[in-house]
Structure 1
Amino acid sequence: MMASIYSAVSGVSAQATKLDVIANNIANVSTTGYKQQNVTFSDLLSQTISGATGSSATRGGTNAVQLGLGVAVASTSIDFTAGTAQSTGVGTDVSIGGTGFFIVSGGTEGKYQFTRDGSFDVDEDGNLTVNGYLVNGWLSYTENADGTYSYDTSKDISAINIYSDIYNGDKSQLAAEATTKATLTGTLDPSADANSNATALNSIGELSQTTTIKSNSTGASVSSTTGLTDSSVYTVTLKDSTVTSGNFDITLTDADGNVVATLTDEDLSDGATLTGTNGETVVLGASDSATAGTMKFTSATDWTTSTSVTAYDSKGTSYDLSVNFAKCYYDSTTGTTSWYYDVTSTSDGVTSVTGSGYLLFDSDGKLITDNGSYSTTPSITVATDEGSDITMTLDMSGLLSQTQDDEDDMIVSVSSVDGCAAGTLTDISIGSDGVITGTYSNGETRPLAMIALATFQNEGGLEKIGDNLYVQTANTGTFKIVAAGAGGTGTLSTGTLEMSNVDLSGQFSEMMITERAYQANTKVITASDECLQTLINMI
């Protein structure tokens, strides 16, 4: 009789424990990254009244007679099934799409603690935190030849600071960087006309120029020009000749006011040609109605195609460069074609640009890169009046000269260029691989750190310590540090948080069953007490 009471008491205690777990699960139904717990029971040691016997020639065997002594809580296990990702719209909120734990430090138990809570924040000192604990990851990276960045995930992890670290110094400010390389890609039109003045693959001669009249009060016109500075305003002045009536004294003045060519007593009825001291040539069309006055015009070289590059000096000052191309010469014997390129600039502060040459294409329109006379990666020098000259490599090794299906493909453009002005960190974003990228006020982006994840051989052995944290135990095995998406972990989702995986309907069902089991055990105690009372009343 006493055994039944003790068995029922153990049942009450076990069901009370399960009810405690259910209550905790329901209480944490809205806790970020919370993992519900499940309770399992096991029976206690049974009292053997009689042992089992084997059969004999005259008797059959008998089973053991045992009396159970109650129930005990065998385990409270954690269900690590991933919860649903809930969108928050906060750029520093992150959820893990599969297995893995964020690694944090700053707790009192062990060097590291682990969490599924990705509600990150940046404190006043630049530390990446979650509930006051420091998020850990990698800080040192290398820049690859293609401009991408790589983190060495075999190195030790450290607490992530967005503003500064021992590897990169002050990350809140981005120092000005001089341009050292620009890369061009695209296609030069193989059907373009070669320059009529070219005499060889490496001799383009004079390039023709077009003019745009700004004002014309003379009745004369500029029919063609060569050798003039691009986008500069020139002035042609016609004065009545003092020698022959109807003729003119003509001067050509450049944008700086310098007279570069003159003609005296010129009859414009058959046109005129002005030849400057620096090789400038301006041809005036024939006119019988010319009058004294001035005519202003701008001249531009007839380039086949051009593209723009923004280059920075070491002080962060930007200068606009134009990379211009003109088809030079076609060798009918070999099928090779040459293109002339010239880098120019009209930006204020640029005193000169040194950078011109030839590219050579084979009969298939592919760039020839092994001919030392036709460099595909020339050095360009931009001299400035501030003395901070720019020396940069112009990589044109990716260009083609082939017919394309779409005319929009016949474009040369800048695929990459380094250098920048100084900037201040204005925003951060977190990628699916855990790389934190900073955006600066100058439009540049730089990697700031990479969040690390931990995996365990037996994550069920983790111990909860509050604050959504776990610590490893003797039964978890040594944790491994991996990048998001590697080592069996899930990738990260930015702007989301992992919800609790508590199944509320399931918990209500378990709660009702537990409640009835608890009541049933108390009824057993009541019944046993009544029996004992009856036994006592027999005296």
Structure 2
Amino acid sequence: MMRSMSSAVTSLKNHQTKMDVIGNNIANVSTTAYKAARVTFKDTFNQMVRGASGTSVDRGGINPSQVGLGMTTNSIDNAMDPGNIDSTGIGTDVFISGAGFFEVKSADGVFYTRDGNFTPDEEGYLVTRDGRFVQGYQADANGNIIETKDRIRIPLSDIKEPRATKNVTLVGNLDSRAGTGIAKMPTDIKQIYNIIPDDPTKVPATFGDKGKYSLKGEYSDNEQEKRTSIIGATATFKVYDTLGGAHTIRIDFIKQGTPQDRKYALQVFYVSPDGESMVPADSTTISGIPTNGIQFKADGKLTDDSKKALENFSVKLMTNANINGSEDVNAKIDLTAVTMFETKGEVKPQTNDGYPLGKMTKFSIGSDGIVTAIYNNGDRKALGQIALATFANDNGLMKEGDNLWSPTQNSGDPNIVKPGSGSAGVLQSGALEMSNVDLAKEFTQMIITQRGFQANARTISTTDQMLEELVNLKR
């Protein structure tokens, strides 16, 4: 009879342990990246009442008879499945989509966490909210990742040195409907208008090879004529010198010959800093321009001869070294992607490898863990890369508090990898991992645990009553 009471007592104790785990799970329902724990039970010793026997000639086999002596806790496991994503909009918050842990380091050792609530400290190092350094790979001055694990530093006041333009790529379309020659319209000599009439059919045209506004030499009755080239498209872009000075270049594409010729002449201008005047390019500022213009095929693409002729097309600016001390700009212009179709003409710069002096304004963390500085001149540079650690057995990790884990003999050693490589997941900035506690499941387990505790308490009280009856037999 005492065995039932002993078994019930062990059960009460272990159900209390399970209740402690459930309570801790519920307490951490809002804890970032918390992993819910679960308790499993197992029976303990069993007292043999009668052993088993096999079948004989005159008797069948007998199964063993045993009385259990209670139960105990089998394991307290952690559910390592990832929690849901919680979008925060904070760029330094990082969510791991998939397997892996961040490695963080401080004076008390190296630990691992899935809590990506990071921030730069006063020296620019990326740290957890309790000051542990996030581990990864630092980049050199040119933005190349150094393959040595280290702290990640984000120089918030970083300056990006200017770079002189060497290559510019222009893309766009030249309107195949553009006219040729010079548009002419009468104006009052007392006032020259810069707006071309909306109805071009009422404007007589003459042909010429100039791409500038000009006045006729003869006029009467206070009238003169203003002439302007009929331009298929205009491309305006900036080039930068060695000290970051910006210079504006304009290229006019002027239709030549008949529509069947599909030819355009190129006129290049240097725009003054105030934007009020344009200086035509000459042999000292431009080289490689096709003397016969460029020609398109019937499919709207440049002919092979035009592409070849444009290979050496470049613009050279004779900067005033006495003003800022910069070297001359010599920029190659790539026009091979320009087309000629029947639509609005527009040519814009697609790439420009030059930029002015830039100051870092913010930084971003990519899915591959690369921390990228963003400068106010439009340039970007890698500052470092966050590393991830994977384990052969995540369930073998030990909780250390503060959302930290440490490896054990059963977890295996950490395998440090870059996000997205091997079995490691990818990163998403602006989000954190939520707790994976399922409240519905926890409350269900709470009810089961409560009833189990009550039932075992009833076993004790019933056994006590039976013992009382046994004592009363003496009376």
Same fold (TM over 0.5): yes
Give the conservation status (yes or no) of the 8 Å contact 1:225–1:299: no
Q: Distance in 2 between matches of 1:141 and 1:464?
A: 35
Report matched runs for 1:451-466 at 5 Å: 451-466=386-401
What percentage of residue pairs aligned between the two structures are identical?
35
Give the conservation status (yes or no) of the 8 Å contact 1:211–1:225: no
1:161 aligns with 153
- Could you say if the C-alpha distance between residues 53 and 339 of structure 1 is closer, same or farther in structure 2, counting changes exceeding 3 Å? same
2:119 is aligned with what amino acid?
D
Name the SS for the 1:306 alignment partner.
strand
2:272 aligns with 347
1:395 is aligned with what amino acid?
D
The offset of 1:465, in angstroms, is: 0.9
The offset of 1:103, in angstroms, is: 2.8
Give the structure-1-normalised TM-score.
0.71
1:435 aligns with 370
1:268 aligns with none
- Counterpart among 307, 310, 329 of residue 390 in structure 1: 329
Matched, 1:283 2:283: no
Give the conservation status (yes or no) of the 8 Å contact 1:179–1:417: yes
1:121 aligns with 119
Matched, 1:324 2:298: no
Report matched runs for 1:109-188 at 5 Å: 109=109, 111=110, 113-131=111-129, 132-140=131-139, 155-163=147-155, 172-188=158-174
Give the conservation status (yes or no) of the 8 Å contact 1:340–1:357: no
Unmatched segments (≥5 aa) in structure 1: 144-148, 165-170, 196-207, 232-280
- Could you say if the C-alpha distance between residues 370 and 15 of structure 1 is closer, same or farther in structure 2, counting changes exceeding 3 Å? farther
Q: Deviations over 1:391-415 (max 9, x none)?
A: 22212222223x35xx24x422111
The offset of 1:125, in angstroms, is: 0.9
The offset of 1:25, in angstroms, is: 0.6
1:167 aligns with none
Q: Distance in 2 between matches of 1:391 and 1:369?
A: 25
The offset of 1:43, in angstroms, is: 1.1
- Could you say if the C-alpha distance between residues 530 and 320 of structure 1 is closer, same or farther in structure 2, counting changes exceeding 3 Å? same
Name the SS for the 1:398 alignment partner.
strand
Q: Which entry has the higher C-alpha Rg, 1 or 2?
A: 1
1:175 is aligned with what amino acid?
E
Give the conservation status (yes or no) of the 8 Å contact 2:178–2:231: no
Q: Distance in 1 between matches of 2:444 and 2:307?
A: 81
Q: Distance in 1 between matches of 2:419 and 2:23?
A: 33
Give the conservation status (yes or no) of the 8 Å contact 1:369–1:376: no
The offset of 1:537, in angstroms, is: 7.5
- Could you say if the C-alpha distance between residues 214 and 17 of structure 1 is closer, same or farther in structure 2, counting changes exceeding 3 Å? farther
Matched, 1:24 2:24: yes
Matched, 1:57 2:57: yes
2:338 is aligned with what amino acid?
L
Give the conservation status (yes or no) of the 8 Å contact 2:101–2:389: yes
The offset of 1:322, in angstroms, is: 0.9
The offset of 1:35, in angstroms, is: 1.3
Q: Deviations over 1:481-510 (max 9, x none)?
A: 444455455544433322212122322222
The offset of 1:38, in angstroms, is: 0.8
Q: Distance in 2 between matches of 1:523 and 1:105?
A: 51
1:216 aligns with 190
Matched, 1:416 2:351: yes
- Could you say if the C-alpha distance between residues 290 and 525 of structure 1 is closer, same or farther in structure 2, counting changes exceeding 3 Å? closer
Q: Distance in 2 between matches of 1:211 and 1:505?
A: 82
- Could you say if the C-alpha distance between residues 212 and 137 of structure 1 is closer, same or farther in structure 2, counting changes exceeding 3 Å? farther
The offset of 1:317, in angstroms, is: 1.5
Give the conservation status (yes or no) of the 8 Å contact 1:43–1:68: yes
2:88 is aligned with what amino acid?
T
Q: Distance in 2 between matches of 1:224 and 1:6?
A: 115
Q: Distance in 2 between matches of 1:299 and 1:174?
A: 45
Q: Distance in 1 between matches of 2:242 and 2:335?
A: 24
2:243 aligns with 315
Q: Distance in 1 between matches of 2:268 and 2:471?
A: 114
- Could you say if the C-alpha distance between residues 372 and 118 of structure 1 is closer, same or farther in structure 2, counting changes exceeding 3 Å? closer
Q: Deviations over 1:462-482 (max 9, x none)?
A: 221111112222223444444
Q: Distance in 1 between matches of 2:414 and 2:403?
A: 18
Q: Which region of structure 1 is more displaced relative to structure 2, 319-328 or 10-19?
A: 319-328
Name the SS for the 1:20 alignment partner.
helix
Name the SS for the 2:92 alignment partner.
coil
Q: Distance in 2 between matches of 1:214 and 1:475?
A: 94
Q: Which region of structure 1 is more displaced relative to structure 2, 99-108 or 20-29?
A: 99-108
- Could you say if the C-alpha distance between residues 329 and 300 of structure 1 is closer, same or farther in structure 2, counting changes exceeding 3 Å? closer
Report matched runs for 1:437-516 at 5 Å: 437-516=372-451
- Could you say if the C-alpha distance between residues 340 and 357 of structure 1 is closer, same or farther in structure 2, counting changes exceeding 3 Å? farther
Q: Distance in 1 between matches of 2:440 and 2:91?
A: 32
Give the conservation status (yes or no) of the 8 Å contact 1:230–1:298: no
Give the conservation status (yes or no) of the 8 Å contact 2:179–2:230: no
Q: Distance in 2 between matches of 1:310 and 1:28?
A: 56
Name the SS for the 1:35 alignment partner.
coil
Q: Distance in 2 between matches of 1:323 and 1:190?
A: 17
Q: Deviations over 1:74-118 (max 9, x none)?
A: 111111233232333323223234433333222634x4x222212
1:367 is aligned with what amino acid?
L
2:105 aligns with 105
Give the conservation status (yes or no) of the 8 Å contact 2:163–2:354: yes
- Could you say if the C-alpha distance between residues 377 and 162 of structure 1 is closer, same or farther in structure 2, counting changes exceeding 3 Å? farther
Q: Distance in 2 between matches of 1:522 and 1:33?
A: 37
Unmatched segments (≥5 aa) in structure 2: 193-204
Give the conservation status (yes or no) of the 8 Å contact 1:19–1:511: yes
The offset of 1:446, in angstroms, is: 3.3
1:399 is aligned with what amino acid?
V
1:81 aligns with 81
1:519 aligns with 454
